[in-house]
Amino acid sequence: MEPMLKVTDLSVSYGHVEALRGVSIQVEQGQIVSIIGANGAGKSTLLRTISGLVKPLNGRVEFLGEPLPKKPNKIVAKGIVHVPEGRKTFSGLTIRDNLLVGGYLFKGKELEKDLQDQYKLFPILEERKNQYAGTLSGGEQQMLAMGRALMSRPKLLMLDEPSMGLAPILVEQIFKIIQTLHEAGTTILLVEQNAQAALSIADRGYVLETGKIVTSGTGTELLASPEIKKAYLGG
Ligand code: ATP
C-alpha cells in the first residue's frame, strides 16, 4: 500500500547550517510514527518543511500519492496540520476563539459540531472557554493547541514536542489523548525528546542525529535496543 506520507532524501540548510541531510521517512495511514532526537537534531525543521514553512534544498514530500502544494494554507487544506513547539496559542483570544481560528475551513453546524467534539475530548477547555488563552497553564495550552489543530479535521496530525516543559502527570495525560486520537483513526507524526514516552506509543520510530536518520524500527524494537537505551533512555 502507498504510504500516507513519503519524505524522500530531504535536505534543508539555514545559511551554512545543514539542519537536515538526506532524510527519508514514511508514515502509513493510521500509524503513530515518532521521531526522537536530541535538542538541535533537526526534528522541528523536518515538521516545518513538511508544513511548507521552510523550503528544502533537495528532496520530495508526497502525501496520499501526490507532491504537496507549496503554500502552507494549501497544505493544511490537504489535511496536514502542525501543532508547533511551544504551542503558539493566541494569548489575547479566548479559548473558544482560538478553536474557531483552527476551524476556519468549516462553517455553521459543522463548525459547531467540531467545537463540541473538542470540548468532549478536552473538558477543561469547555470549562474555561471564555477565558483568554494566555491565562492557561502549559498543559492546558498544549490541549488547546491540539484542539485548535483538530478543528481543521487533519488526516495527518504533526505534533512538535507536546510534552515539553510539562509535569509527568500532564505528560501522561497528553500521551493518553494522543492514543485516543490514534484509536479514532487519526494518523500521527510525533517529534519528541521524551524518547521513552514517544516510542512506547509508536508503531514506528526514527532516530534523528545532527540532521540524519541513524536508526529506525518499530517502537518496541527501538525501546529494546541497547544503543537507544544508552543514548536516549537513561541507560
Ligand atoms: P529543538 O528540540 O531544540 O527544537 P530540533 O531537533 O527541533 O531541536 P531544529 O530546531 O530543527 O532542531 O534545529 C536544527 C538545527 O538548525 C540546529 O542546529 C538549529 O540551531 C538550526 N536552526 C533551526 N532554526 C534555524 C533558523 N531559523 N536559522 C538558523 N539556524 C536554525
- pLDDT by residue (tens digit) across 170-179? 899 999 999 9
Quick one: pLDDT at residue 65? 94
Check pocket membership of 37 for ligand 1, CB cut-off 6 A: yes
CB atoms within 10 A of CB 41: 22
pLDDT the model gives residue 72: 93
Ligand 1 pocket residue status of 42, Cβ below 6 Å = yes
Contacts 24+ apart (CB under 8 A), 89-93: 89/133, 89/134, 89/136, 89/141, 89/144, 89/145, 89/148, 90/133, 91/132, 91/133, 91/134, 92/132, 92/133, 92/134, 93/132, 93/133
- List average pLDDT for each run of 10 residues in the chain, which is 235 residues long: 94 95 97 95 96 96 95 93 88 93 87 93 93 90 93 95 90 92 94 94 96 96 93 83
Nearest residue by C-alpha to atom 25 in ligand 1: 14
Whether the CB of 40 sits within 6 Å of ligand 1: yes
pLDDT of residue 159: 97
Angle at alpha carbon of residue 162, lines to 176 and 230, rounded to 5°: 90
| 35 CA → ligand 1 middle, Å | 15
Specify the pLDDT at position 82: 93
The minimum-distance atom of ligand 1 relative to the CA of 46 is 11
Q: 211 C-alpha vs ligand 1 centroid, how far in Å?
A: 10
* Closest-lying ligand 1 atom to the alpha carbon of residue 164: 2
Whole-number pLDDT of residue 137: 87
Ligand 1, residues 17, 18, 55: which to mutate, most atoms within 8 A of Cβ? Answer: 17
CB 170 within 8 A of CB 146: no
